[in-house]
Amino acid sequence: MFKVGLSYLVHLFTISGVVFSFLALILAIDQNIPAVFFFLALALFVDGIDGTLARTANVKQHTPNINGEILDNIIDFLNYTFIPSFVIYWCGFVPEGMQLLSASIVLMVSCYTFANNKVKTSDFYFSGFPALWNIVILYFYLLNTSALTNFYLILIFAVLTFIPFKYLHPFRVVQLRKTSLFILLLWMLATIVLLYFPESSNNVITLSYVLWAISNTYFLALTVIRTTKDRRLKS
């Protein structure tokens, strides 16, 4: 009985992502972008550890009536795609008159990603852009890119959804996990400073951008290297 109750608590923890999604939506309506990212980050934290908790509690055995994978996908779609698409539509990230088109593109290509059985490769990479639109709008905001540039970038990422580049999953690729998590931590620290402490000293801001650049270069380089290696093996 205890194990059944524990399994339901794990599912409840996963479901908390819906609440964070709803709070992010309310704040997006008010165009409070930093607060939106705070709740999307909480949802990302839940998503990062709920799988481990589910396996530890053996939820499949103790709560067989609940499909955790479907539940996880629903919440991921809300936080990775639906809320970012609303932010794109509502908060002036794209040119006037292109809001609905931009949001629709994000939603439709993401539906393909979430329905694609081959989006995760056998070696735990993502094949094609993995619908990380929450990260895309974060870059739009922090880099203060123009509305037209954002629209073109949305088109590029939409196309990349269908191109089998291999994107690293920092938690799942075991041989790179320690390095990837360290780099991810640097990225997170830099993002927190740039997002919530933009009036910090010039040295702190400069260091944050340097850490950001290092982190982005690492993940981009792995995408290029792994994709190139796979293509050579297949040729």
Contact 111, 121 (CB under 8 A): no
pLDDT of residue 121: 87
Cα distance between residue 88 and residue 111, in whole Å? 17
Contact 21, 82 (CB under 8 A): yes
pLDDT tens, position by position, 9-48: 888 899 999 999 999 999 999 999 999 999 999 999 998 8
- The domain of 67 spans 2-118+128-164
Sequence-ordered list of residues with C-beta below 8 angstroms from that of 196, at least 6 positions apart, any chain: 34
Please indicate, yes or no, if residue 123 is contained in any of the structural domains: no
Low-confidence ranges of the chain (pLDDT < 50): none
**What SS3 class is residue 139?**
helix
Same structural domain, 110 and 142: yes
Please indicate, yes or no, if residue 160 is contained in any of the structural domains: yes
pLDDT of residue 148: 98
pTM over 0.85: yes
Same structural domain, 185 and 159: no
Of the candidates 138, 3, 112, the one whose C-alpha atom is nearest the C-alpha of residue 59 is 3
Contact 78, 21 (CB under 8 A): yes
DSSP state of 126: E
Same structural domain, 24 and 68: yes
Same structural domain, 138 and 220: no
